[in-house]
Amino acid sequence: MSAVADLAVTAEELDRQLGAASPAEIIAAALDRVGRERLALVSSFGTESAALLKLAADVDPAIPVIFLDTGWLFAETLSYRDRLVDLLKLRDVRTVTPRAADLARADADNSLWHTDPDACCRIRKVEPLARALEPFAAWLNGRKRYQADTRAAIPVVEADGARLKFNPLAHVNADEIALIYAAAGLPPHPLTASGFTSVGCMPCTSRVAPGEDQRSGRWRGRDKVECGIHLPRLS
């Protein structure tokens, strides 16, 4: 059996073991499985990011946190990142950016988000994250089943190429996220008050109307629902 197949079996077994575990228990299990130096938490510092960051900080505030600064983020997201890092006393936040040479080659006039959003996401998010994750054996992220139909069946643990991928908040609901914020006194993302329920890059994020799903403001009007970092990887 190949290493990738072995990892898939391991992920399935962990998913069975942790399927009903609390988010904190899932984070602790990931930490125990691979160790702090081999575990990363990937965060957008978006509208619900503080919940996972708070839970992880309670387990171990030195877990490395990877933040993708695409060059197109709202100023409010950058200030929110700084506020949460200070509030939660996160000890190892690593800001990752796209390669200047890649931007000069493929997006010199900063119009790629409009002409080819998949390619824009690839050079600004997917490839930088792949490079940042190279030293790690597993990573944590904040996806939740209730966010959109396309996320309704995500597992708690899955194989992601050569790594384990833990989704500690997969089975929580919006009310439970709100309780985490309230109990810890976590500040909301600055843009939530003006109708943004999911915040990504500025050109591709819009406000959400009542009755729409949480991520409907991302890439509105396009046949695109994910940036690509959560698509299956072969290596």
Each residue's pLDDT tens digit, 38-64: 999 999 999 999 999 999 999 999 999
Give residue 180's Cα distance to chain centre: 18
Instruction: Output the pLDDT for position 3.
Output: 79
Residue 233 is predicted with a pLDDT of 58
Domains of the chain are 3-204 (3.40.50.620)
- For residue 38, the model assigns a pLDDT of 98
Task: Tell me what percent of the residues of the chain surpass a pLDDT of 70.
Answer: 97
In this prediction, residue 84 carries a pLDDT of 98
**Of 13, 93, 11, which is closest to residue 45 (Cα–Cα)?**
93
> How far does CA 7 lie from the centroid of its chain?
21
pLDDT of residue 2: 76
Between the CA of residue 224 and those of 93, 116, 148, what are the distances in Å? 29, 11, 13
Q: Phi and psi dihedrals of 19, rounded to 5?
A: -55, -30
pLDDT score at 232: 63
Instruction: Give per-residue pLDDT as tens, 191-230.
Output: 999 999 899 999 999 999 888 888 888 988 898 887 877 8
Task: Give CA–CA dist 126/33, Å, rounded.
Answer: 25
pLDDT band at residue 5 using 50, 70 and 90 as cut-offs: confident
Query: How high does pLDDT run on average in the chain?
Result: 93
Is residue 227 part of the annotated active site? The answer reads yes
Of 176, 222, 227, nearest in space to 198 by CA: 227
- Taken in order 126, 128, 134, 140, is the CA torsion positive or negative? negative
At 4, is the pLDDT very low, low, confident or very high (cuts 50, 70, 90)?
A: confident
pLDDT of residue 234: 46
Average pLDDT over residues 104-118: 96
- pLDDT of 137-186, one tens digit each? 999 999 999 887 888 889 999 999 889 999 999 999 999 999 999 999 99
Q: Name the pTM for this structure.
A: 0.92
Instruction: Say which residue the tokens 């943004």 belong to.
Output: 196
Specify the pLDDT at position 230: 80
Q: What is the pLDDT of residue 177?
A: 96
Radius of gyration of the chain (CA): 17
Model confidence at 235: pLDDT above 50: no
Say which of 121, 201, 204, 227 is annotated catalytic: 227
**Percent of residues, the chain, with pLDDT higher than 90:** 82
Position 27 pLDDT exceeds 60: yes
